[in-house]
Amino acid sequence: MGGAIGGDNLFKREDFVYVGVDVHSKVHASVMVNHYGEQIGKATKFDAAIPAFDEWVEQVQKRAGGKGIVFGLEDVHGLGRSLARYLLDRGYRVKFANAYLTKRERPSINKHDSLDALSVARITAKYIHELPEADIDPLQWALLSTVTHRRGLVNEQNRLKNKLGNLLHQAWPEYRSFFSEPFDGVTALAFWEQYPSVYRMAEVTPAKLSEFLREKSHFYMGEKQAARIFAVVGQTEEPDCQFERDAIIRSTVKHLRHVQEQIADAEAQLARLIARTDHHLTDIPGMDVASAAELIALVGDVGRFKNVDKFLAYTGIAPGMSASGESEAKFRSKFGRRELLAFFHNFAAHQLVVAPRSGKPRNPEALAYYNKVLGDQAGLPKEKQDKRIRRKALLSLMRQQAKRMYRLMKVQKAQAVARRAAVAVEETQQETKAA
């Protein structure tokens, strides 16, 4: 195919045209530019279906006039995955265009498909060496899809918890004092479903409630818990339509329980997918299965990053420099994947959380490093700290965490490659003996 190109060392920008694609669920839009970012021809629209890709690529090749072709997509994991896979399978180079850069490149405040595609094309031409290559390995895609699925379930779980809390506030004003985990505990959910309001306790005795709690909690709760609940049970008259409100609580509890089961299934699926990779990251403080899966999916093959600086650039937290005369200013690079930037931001902030009751930090080492960067600001209340210094300290912690994870993933990758090589040698020796 005429679109395949060699490494960047042999790359001549003027020998290629650059096609930006704005992807959608039904119809994609594309625009071609030269290495100056000047538009070539009109915008093209084509169906977001594989049979339509052949005709579109043929048109692109004709318009390219014998030059090589580089494609830029702002989305290579969602709606644009099938197109990216199609192009990669045919030897084309596909770049992952940063959404921040394409938004900045848009020529006007107006927004429509052809302008978006033009922005992607110009960004691809302008930053061809800086933009990351599209990587849509099936295992990586499965991890990312499952992580996204789980995140949606967690958001739904939070919505249901808020809804249930509002309902219980009316039905059981003192409900938070009954159970340590009113929305996650098995016993708590069973209680809300059985007794959605105080008015369902009219014919219940302390002995009967104790037996219920012992059964649901596997004898962890009993008479003391029952006595605590009965202490707030009054003799008020049941309001009109309470039965219907109780039905809503029961339905919400069932829905919440179902979503929690789906979250558990998604996490089990993530664990199975992670086992197929070269990495095990859950030993890192604060790294659960979902976080490990997301990091592995977003990074892909860590071996494609020659050094830690290349990795930091891909994450979007590599330091940049702006100098004019005698003044210099450091800033965060705008390249890389925004998802990775968000991941390391959330992960670093998660490390700094201090338990409200015990006062113990989740990660003492991370908090000590953060306070070291804060300097004199560390002893001040948060509202009195300089926001710029606080952002700088968090960004510094993000870079430190990213460097450690990169080095760990590189070591694990090398160990996995060595294990596979040893297995291959052993299998070859066994086949030789058998022959």
Q: Give the C-alpha separation, 373 to 126, whole Å.
A: 35
Give the CA angle between residues 160, 164, 167 to the nearest 5°.
Answer: 140
Closest CA to 312 of 341, 352, 287: 341
Which pLDDT value is given to residue 264?
Answer: 96
Which pLDDT value is given to residue 328?
Answer: 46
The ranges of the chain with pLDDT < 70 are 1-10, 76-77, 100, 105-111, 235, 320-336
Which pLDDT value is given to residue 109?
Answer: 59
Contacts of 281 (CB under 8 A, 6+ apart): 287, 291, 292, 295, 296, 405, 408, 409
Tell how far CA 125 is from the center of its chain. 28
Contact status, residue 351 vs residue 363, Cβ threshold 8 Å: yes
Q: Give the C-alpha separation, 110 to 102, whole Å.
A: 14
Which pLDDT value is given to residue 324?
Answer: 44
Q: Which domains are assigned to the chain?
A: 8-135 (3.30.420.10), 141-275 (1.10.287), 298-406 (no CATH)
- What is the per-residue pLDDT across 62-71, written as a single tens digit (0 to 9) for each? 999 999 999 9
Percent over 70 (pLDDT), the chain: 91
- What is the per-residue pLDDT across 72-100, written as a single tens digit (0 to 9) for each? 998 766 788 889 889 999 999 999 887 76
Q: Give the C-alpha separation, 237 to 262, whole Å.
A: 39
Q: What is the DSSP string of 177-189?
A: GT-SSTTT-HHHH
Which pLDDT value is given to residue 134?
Answer: 80
